[in-house]
């Protein structure tokens, strides 16, 4: 195939970005190279990957799965999840993973919205299907063994699908780079989860060579995030594009992370949210550098990044990304600019705008909007949600809903989710920046900052915190700690300690729930405690 097939030099060949042709290519060029290592140490070479994928793909076709059809996949990380992902894409079907924590109305919504007639499901999750309306589903394919729960669906065993000896049925047409590959459901923090429709070109642009040039064919990527999250689904594809390899974990564990990295011979890891914080707050060990990891993506970039590099011997990168876009902001290794997300990568246009989409001056805070040079280089809209698609893509740019500022050198700084910003007595406060400073306290594991109604006007700042295991904290001392690290007006008035922050199934903090709970009876009030802030000075009455 030649570039001229597409008449556009920005679009890679099919065997550079489409799962079916990538698998075929690497199985032919590097059949004996290991593509994936699983948690139990089992490995699949590229030749074995193709053989397994083709057999499962034949099984799906025998059950009637058609090119362009959506198929739901409700599985934990493991060989079956990977196989379902690639076997469906191999025949041009659309991979639709569901969060394994979904139940009730959330589960019904995504099943109904996806239009899936077939669901690949772990046997332990099947009882939840009986609690909802399954009018659209017709067939269940069980993983992990058999299940006696009666859902009323035609039932098959996934292991049986992997053994079909027949040849694949021909495709209706070639699978093109702009064809839909997947639908990934967002967290639904402000409403029902939206299904992000992604093409192969979107996934390629998300973490291809121009987006993540630091990840090479020689690397092995350690994947701990679940496949229903873009952070778990994208890395296997990232490495498939490069003809590289990855190691798959069932999930992230602070206690076993470095041992898993060493055992799997991983060279690249992704540290999302508080993962880096959790690792840094583990007791130092003489074994901290005894692993093969050389590069880590830390999102967001913490103040501890230099210390993390020193302690664990790893080069740090950071990015800004979300399911709908394609890594528009990427940093250099070991960025020294505090709090940055990096600079705009090639092939992407980024603007910061006001509420009317008018560009703002450098240094001011505005919403980040994005477009790419490559056709289909970002999401193809929200599946069956034209209103949300039109709102997000208004004026020809994708609106992230995130507030940023940019400095004169081109570095971008995340300020806040626009809906999470706090305004106190005329001052605009970034909840993100409050959380960063609060979490810098060694006793605090995670924190969420919200605005709560003030008796005076606008908001007061409240933080909800969870402590490091076995840690204790004196809240007056916490305020004294914070007043040295942030402007007086950002220091929280209210502090509440909880065991863990409430999260969505994709591990985003449910700030809407925290705001609805507000100032609870167990919340500490700085004003009532007798502490008063006088500009930069904290005084005891």
Name the least confident of 34-43, 146-155, 429-438. Answer: 429-438
- Give the domain ranges of the chain: 3-175, 220-417, 421-540
- pLDDT attached to residue 1: 45
The answer to which of 179-193, 204-218, 311-325, 427-441 has the lowest mean pLDDT is 179-193
pLDDT-derived band of residue 193, with 50, 70 and 90 as boundaries? confident
Do residues 200 and 19 make contact, with C-beta atoms less than 8 angstroms apart? yes
pLDDT of 538 strictly over 70: no
Residue 348 has pLDDT above 70, yes or no: yes
Q: Compute the distance between CA of residue 444 and CA of residue 435 in angstroms, rounded to an integer.
A: 10
Res. 514: pLDDT tops 50: yes
Res. 541: pLDDT tops 60:
no
pLDDT at residue 160 in the model: 92
- Whole-number pLDDT of residue 139: 96
Confidence tier at 130 by pLDDT (50, 70, 90) = very high
Task: Pull the structure tokens for residue 73.
Answer: 């996949």
CATH code for the structural domain at 421-540: 3.30.300.30
308-338 confidence digits (pLDDT tens):
999 999 999 999 999 999 999 999 999 988 8
Q: Which pLDDT belongs to residue 190?
A: 54
Q: Which among 211, 305, 223 is positioned nearest to 270, based on CA atoms?
A: 223
Banded pLDDT at 534 (limits 50, 70, 90):
low
Say what the pLDDT of residue 456 is.
67
**Residue 26 pLDDT > 50, yes or no?**
yes
Please name the CATH architecture into which domain 220-417 falls: 3-Layer(aba) Sandwich (3.40)
22/232 Cα distance (integer angstroms): 19
**What was the pLDDT predicted at 6?**
66
Task: Give pLDDT, residue 191.
Answer: 62
State the pLDDT at residue 483: 87
Residue 430 pLDDT: 80
CA atoms within 13 A on the CB side of 40: 5
The predicted structure's pLDDT at residue 537: 43
pLDDT per position as a tens digit, 414-469: 988 888 878 787 677 888 888 988 998 999 999 999 999 888 667 899 999 999 98
281 against 117, higher pLDDT: 117
DSSP per-residue letters across 77-91: SSHHHHHHHHHHHHT
CA angle 216, 220, 221 (to 5 degrees): 100
Tell me how long the chain is: 541
220-417 and 421-540: identical CATH topology: no
pLDDT of residue 447: 94
- For the segment 58-77, the average pLDDT, to the nearest whole number, is 97
Give the E-state strand segments of 100-241 in sequence order: 118-122, 139-143, 154-157, 180-185, 195-199, 220-223
The CATH class that applies to domain 3-175 reads alpha beta
Rounded to the nearest integer, the mean pLDDT of the chain is 91
- The DSSP bridge partners found for residue 120 are 73, 141
pLDDT at site 339: 83
The 3-class SS string of 381-398 reads CECCCHHHHHHHCHHHCE
Q: pLDDT per residue over 228-284, tens digit each?
A: 989 899 999 999 999 999 999 999 999 999 999 999 999 999 998 678 888 998 899
pLDDT, average across residues 64-72: 97
What is residue 533's predicted lDDT score, i.e. its pLDDT? 73
Model pLDDT, residue 457: 67
pLDDT tens figures, 382-428: 999 999 999 999 999 999 999 999 999 999 999 888 888 787 876 77
Strand 422-424 versus strand 118-122 pairing type:
unpaired
Helices (H), 255-324: 257-264, 275-280, 305-312
């Amino acid at each position: 195939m030649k570039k001229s097939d597409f008449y556009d030099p920005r679009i890679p060949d099919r065997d550079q970005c489409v799962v079916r042709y990538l698998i075929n290519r690497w199985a032919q060029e590097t059949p004996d190279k290991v593509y994936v290592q699983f948690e139990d140490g089992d490995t699949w070479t590229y030749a074995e990957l193709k053989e397994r994928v083709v057999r499962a793909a034949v099984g799906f076709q025998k059950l009637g799965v058609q090119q362009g059809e959506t198929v739901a996949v409700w599985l934990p990380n493991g060989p079956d999840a990977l196989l379902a992902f690639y076997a469906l894409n191999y025949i041009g079907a659309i991979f639709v993973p569901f969060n394994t924590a979904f139940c009730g109305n959330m589960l019904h919504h995504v099943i109904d919205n996806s239009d899936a007639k077939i669901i690949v499901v772990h046997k332990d999750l099947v009882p939840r299907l009986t609690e909802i309306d399954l009018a659209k589903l017709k067939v269940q394919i069980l993983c992990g063994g058999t299940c006696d729960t009666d859902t009323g669906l035609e039932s098959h065993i996934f292991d049986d699908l992997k053994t079909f000896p027949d040849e694949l049925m021909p495709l209706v047409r070639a699978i093109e780079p702009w064809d839909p590959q997947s639908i990934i459901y967002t967290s639904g923090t402000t409403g029902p989860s939206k299904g992000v429709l992604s093409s192969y070109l979107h996934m390629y642009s998300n973490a291809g060579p121009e987006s993540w040039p630091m990840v090479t064919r020689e690397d092995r990527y350690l994947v701990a995030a679940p496949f229903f999250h873009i952070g778990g689904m994208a890395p296997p594809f990232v490495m498939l594009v490069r003809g590289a390899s990855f190691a798959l974990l069932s999930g992230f564990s602070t206690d076993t992370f470095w041992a898993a990295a060493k055992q799997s011979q991983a060279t690249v890891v992704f540290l999302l949210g508080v993962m880096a914080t959790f690792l840094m707050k583990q007791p130092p060990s003489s074994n901290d550098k005894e692993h093969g990891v050389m590069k880590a993506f830390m999102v967001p970039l913490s103040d501890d990044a230099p210390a993390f590099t020193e302690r664990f011997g790893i080069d740090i990168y950071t990015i800004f990304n979300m399911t709908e876009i394609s890594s528009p902001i990427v940093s250099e290794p070991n960025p020294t600019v505090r709090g940055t997300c990096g600079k705009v990568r090639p092939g992407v246009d980024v603007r910061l705008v006001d509420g009317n989409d008018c560009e703002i001056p450098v240094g001011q805070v505005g919403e980040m909007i994005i477009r790419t040079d490559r056709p289909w280089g970002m999401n193809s809209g929200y599946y069956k949600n034209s209103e949300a698609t039109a709102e997000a893509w208004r004026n020809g740019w994708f609106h992230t809903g995130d507030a940023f500022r940019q400095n004169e050198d081109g570095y971008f700084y995340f300020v806040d989710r626009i809906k999470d910003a706090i305004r106190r007595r005329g001052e605009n406060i970034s909840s993100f920046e409050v959380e960063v400073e609060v979490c810098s306290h060694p006793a605090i594991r995670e924190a969420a900052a919200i605005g709560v109604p003030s008796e005076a006007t606008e908001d007061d700042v409240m933080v909800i915190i969870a402590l490091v295991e076995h840690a204790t904290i004196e809240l007056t001392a916490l305020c004294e700690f914070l007043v040295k690290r942030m402007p007086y007006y950002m220091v929280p008035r209210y502090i509440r300690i909880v065991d863990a922050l409430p999260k969505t199934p994709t591990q985003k903090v449910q700030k809407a729930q925290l705001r609805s709970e507000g100032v609870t009876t167990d919340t500490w009030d700085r004003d009532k405690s007798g502490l008063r802030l006088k500009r930069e000075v904290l005084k005891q009455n």
